[in-house]
Amino acid sequence: MNEARAAIRYAKATLNLAVDKKAADAIDVDMRTISSTITDNTELQNFLDSPVTKGEVKKNALKEVFKGSHEITKGLIDTLTDNKRITLLKDVALKYIILHEQLKGKDIAYVTTAVPLTADLEKKILAQVVKLTGNNVTIENKVDESIVGGFVLRVGDLQYDASVANKLNGLKREFTNSL
């Protein structure tokens, strides 16, 4: 099964359980903590990705790292470990955050640019995204100089790549194919 689809399924199941138990906001806090902790700590990421380390060791380590978490979050860690899918933990956390925001009628638009967005440009992008989605949207700007110019916009599962790097790669493919 595709890793992204699996992560979405685990995230949806976790969200459904959290809504039933009226703990969706508490789980959202846990998922944000998990996402940022794994993103900021490459050693933890490598530990989770390691095929040598046994699942039980990973489970115990994660429960220690996230010991203040809700029982549903601990259950998710157990389930992912038991199903040998613990490497998906960060992806499940990110998908949960997106699904929870959508449940509240909000979306997060991730805009990657080569330079930081100005306030005026951010307002224009926000207006267009609200028009497209019909939801309350917040913008998160990520600066990535490797895209050279333009932008990459991602809202939920939709992505629009108007970066210069993408256009250059397209030209390179065209030249390569025409030879």
Summarised one tens digit per residue, pLDDT across range 129-151 is: 888 877 788 888 888 888 888 88
Identify the bridge partners of residue 140 per DSSP, sorted by sequence position: 110
pLDDT over 90, % of the chain: 47
Mean pLDDT across the chain = 89
Neighbouring residues of 44: CB distance < 8 A, sequence distance ≥ 6 = 37, 38, 65
- Calpha distance 33→30 (Å, rounded): 5
pLDDT at 59: 92
Q: Is the pLDDT of residue 114 over 70?
A: yes
Domain layout of the chain by residue ranges: 3-101, 105-178
User: Residue 1 — pLDDT band, cuts 50, 70, 90?
Assistant: low
Q: Per-residue pLDDT averaged across 86-101, rounded?
A: 91
pLDDT at 85: 93
Is residue 41 helix, strand or coil?
coil
Q: Is the pLDDT of residue 179 over 80?
A: no
pLDDT at 73: 94
- Enter the DSSP assignment of 147: G
Q: Is the pLDDT of residue 18 over 60?
A: yes
Domain range 3-101, its CATH number among 1.10.520.20, 3.10.50.40, 1.20.1260.10, 1.10.3720.10: 1.10.520.20
Q: Per-residue pLDDT averaged across 43-69, rounded?
A: 91
In this structure, of 53-62, 65-74, 87-96, 140-149, the range with the lowest mean pLDDT score is 140-149
